[in-house]
Amino acid sequence: MLFLVTLFPFCIAQSDVLSDEFINSINEAQSAWRAGRVWPKNMTDELLKRLSGSVDPNLYKHEYEDYVYQHPQFRLDIDLPNSFDARKKWPQCKAIGKARHQGLCDSCWAYAVASAFTDRFCIATNGTSDFEFSAEDILTCCGPQCLRDKKEMCGGGRVDKAWDFLVQRGGVSGGDYKSEEVK
């Protein structure tokens, strides 16, 4: 995954990410998932940039200066598997591996938190509470501390504050964008 993230800015600069050639090159390079067209070919660069809404954590590093960082202790005496698929490990958790649609809102930060929280909650309850936490609830109820510009829900936001919001206040269920799913 680090390889893909590292090359992504280079690939965008070198190729049209909305072209069939780019999509086909991704599918030819790997077989773990299938890339496909989500946006129209005439999508503007400005709108694509708006959909990348996670706030740079370095901007808020000063807020965590007093925290004591604990270096993780890794066990070196265990054999790690060559591959791992969370969908196979926890098949009772249907949302694991699902890509959620954020619409035309710069809200990937809220969707990422809602998805991760959904997965962890399902795993912790061994699948007995298999529902999706609502990203829209985070967008509308987390408040200015989550939002990049304090007023615009679709203007980007903070993953750390969205996670704190769910931990401290909880969240409601909700499905895909415009699905009207609730449990």
Counts of helices then strands in the chain (DSSP H, E): 7, 0
Establish if 81 belongs to a structural domain. no
Domain ranges, residue 98 = 52-66+86-177
For 118-167, the pLDDT digits (tens) are 999 999 999 887 788 988 889 888 888 888 777 677 778 888 899 999 99
pTM comes to 0.62
For 14-55, the pLDDT digits (tens) are 457 678 888 899 899 888 888 887 777 777 766 666 666 666
Establish if 79 belongs to a structural domain. no
**How many domains in the chain?**
2
Q: Answer yes or no: is pLDDT of 61 > 70.
A: yes
- Taking the C-alpha atoms of residue 147 and residue 71, their distance in angstroms, rounded to an integer, is 30
Whether residue 58 sits in one domain with residue 12: no
**Residues in Cβ contact with 153 at an 8 Å cutoff, skipping those fewer than 6 apart:** 105, 107, 139, 140, 147
For 90-119, the pLDDT digits (tens) are 999 988 988 887 777 778 888 899 999 999
Which structure tokens are listed for 82?
């060559």
pLDDT for 85:
92
Whether residue 118 sits in one domain with residue 31: no
Whether residue 33 sits in one domain with residue 97: no
- Average pLDDT, integer, range 55-68: 69
What is the DSSP annotation of 21-68?
Answer: HHHHHHHHH--SS-----S-TT--HHHHHHT--BPPGGGGGGGGTTSP
